[in-house]
Every structure is written in structure tokens, then in C-alpha cells.
């Protein structure tokens, strides 16, 4: 597989965008989330910054595994919230499933995302795909 991680200039200094189609890109997405958290003024509380990185990891992993193999992740901040968006090519919304604690097939991520975020929404697009939006309080 050809590695195609791209960091795209974003709309403002507080926006970060990553596009990827490789499993190695998950680590780069986490690194981007850390850099984003470090760039914010005022700084995020340590626990919020760690939660941001964890959510980015889960969302991009889910998009890569279940969303068609390519994703675009965006990060931006407002005065009261931090927003993560992850778009992929699959029109199928994430679904709750029973966690597989013995077979290693997952099932915990969507539960965790919904529990840690203060808001989660799934919208159609771009194209035939979907975008998962997650909000964290600052």
C-alpha cells in the first residue's frame, strides 16, 4: 500500500486536517491531535488533551477498519469546545455491538467514544460517505 498521509492547511490557525489510508497514519493522527492540543490557548486540561488523543485514535481506527480504508480527520476549537470530525467513504453509520473481550475483534470503541464525548453526531457526506462529529468540553 502506498502511504498517503497528508496534512492539509486549514481554515484557521487552530484547525488541523489529516488525510490517510494506512494503519501507520493512526499514530500520525494521534501526534497531530497532541500538536493541536498543545497549540491551544488557553491550554486544555491534561485529562481533556489525553481524551482528545484517545478519541482521535478510536475514530480514525474505526474509519480505516470499517469506513472504506481512507479517512479525513479535522480538529478545531471554539471557546467552549474542541471538535473532532472524521469522514470516510462508507455510508453506514457506526453501530453499537457487543465488545469482544476474548477474540480481539473489538467492539469497545464506539461505546467509549459516546461515553467520553459531550456530543456525538453522524452526518452524510462528503459524497456517499459520512462524517462523525465529536465534541469535548474545553
| Higher pLDDT pick, 98 / 78 | 78
What tens digit of pLDDT does each residue of 89-131 get?
999 988 777 766 676 666 678 888 999 999 999 999 999 999 9
Q: How many whole angstroms separate alpha carbon 47 and alpha carbon 76? A: 18
Q: Is the pLDDT of residue 18 over 90?
A: no
- Per-residue DSSP letter, 82: E
| Lowest mean pLDDT across 4-8, 13-17, 121-125, 131-135 | 4-8
Tell me the average pLDDT across 63-75: 91
- In our burial notation (b when 16+ CB lie closer than 10 A, e otherwise), range 33-67 reads beebbeebeeebeeebbebbbbbbbbbbbbbbebb
Amino acid at each position: 500500500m502506498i502511504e498517503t498521509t497528508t496534512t492539509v492547511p486549514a481554515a484557521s490557525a487552530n484547525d488541523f486536517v489529516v488525510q490517510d489510508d494506512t494503519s501507520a497514519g493512526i499514530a500520525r493522527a494521534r501526534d497531530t491531535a497532541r500538536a493541536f492540543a498543545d497549540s491551544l490557548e488557553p491550554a486544555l486540561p491534561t485529562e481533556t488533551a489525553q481524551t482528545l488523543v484517545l478519541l482521535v485514535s478510536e475514530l480514525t481506527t474505526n474509519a480505516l477498519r470499517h469506513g472504506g480504508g481512507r479517512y479525513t480527520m479535522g480538529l478545531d476549537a471554539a471557546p467552549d469546545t474542541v471538535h473532532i470530525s472524521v469522514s470516510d467513504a462508507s455510508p453506514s453509520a457506526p453501530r453499537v455491538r457487543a465488545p469482544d473481550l476474548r477474540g480481539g475483534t473489538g467492539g469497545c470503541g464506539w461505546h467509549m467514544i459516546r461515553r467520553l464525548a459531550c456530543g456525538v453526531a453522524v452526518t452524510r457526506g462528503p459524497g456517499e460517505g459520512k462524517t462523525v462529529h465529536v465534541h469535548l468540553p474545553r
